[in-house]
Amino acid sequence: MIQLVCSSPGCAGMPAVTVPADRSEVSVKCPSCAVVHRLSADVVGKLALMEELRSAICKARPILSDVCVGVSAGDRVIKIPYNLLVGRLPAEMAFAGSGLGRRFIFSDEDESPNLKRGGEKR
């Protein structure tokens, strides 16, 4: 599930975003303040790519503990298991510039996205 964090002042709404198969632009209406957010095809394409990445991570979950990323720290290389880096879903994606500072929350369907914002209620 993808939700847009509404950018209207004082609004805590998080309307759901559905990515169309053709990845064309979409309009999303906030259920709290009724502001319509228009998402460009560029932003929708990036959301689709993020969903593909999340899907690939889910498929690879059985081996994520067995694979490490080497991070250089001075003269040492620290190995960090992938599951620590990418296994903690949901994810958040933010766009600057043409995305006008929009933030999106990606979560599994059965998770409560409201809990991901510090437990605040809509």
Nearest to 47 by CA among 106, 6, 98: 106
Q: Which of residues 3-22 bind Zn ion (CB under 5 A)?
A: 6, 8, 11, 13
Answer yes or no: are the C-beta atoms of 78 and 71 closer than 8 Å.
Answer: yes
Return the biggest CA–CA distance within the chain.
54
Q: In the bound complex, what is the minimum distance in angstroms from residue 108's beta carbon to Zn ion? A: 23
Q: In the bound complex, what is the minimum distance in angstroms from residue 88's beta carbon to Zn ion? A: 27
Please identify, among the stretches 21-29, 30-38, 86-94, 102-110, the one whose residues bind Zn ion according to the rule CB under 5 A.
Answer: 30-38
- Contact residue for Zn ion among 1, 33, 48, 64 (CB under 5 A): 33
Query: Do the strands 2-5 and 16-17 form a parallel or antiparallel pair, or are they unpaired?
Result: antiparallel
Evaluated on CA atoms 9, 13, 19, 25, the torsion sign reads negative
Q: By CB under 5 A, is residue 32 in contact with Zn ion?
A: yes
Q: By CB under 5 A, is residue 83 in contact with Zn ion?
A: no
Q: In the bound complex, what is the minimum distance in angstroms from residue 54's beta carbon to Zn ion? A: 25
- The Cα-based distances of 28 to 13, 64, 77, 88, 118 in angstroms read 11, 35, 45, 27, 23
Q: By CB under 5 A, is residue 1 in contact with Zn ion?
A: no
Name the residues that contact Zn ion, by CB under 5 A: 6, 8, 11, 13, 30, 32-33
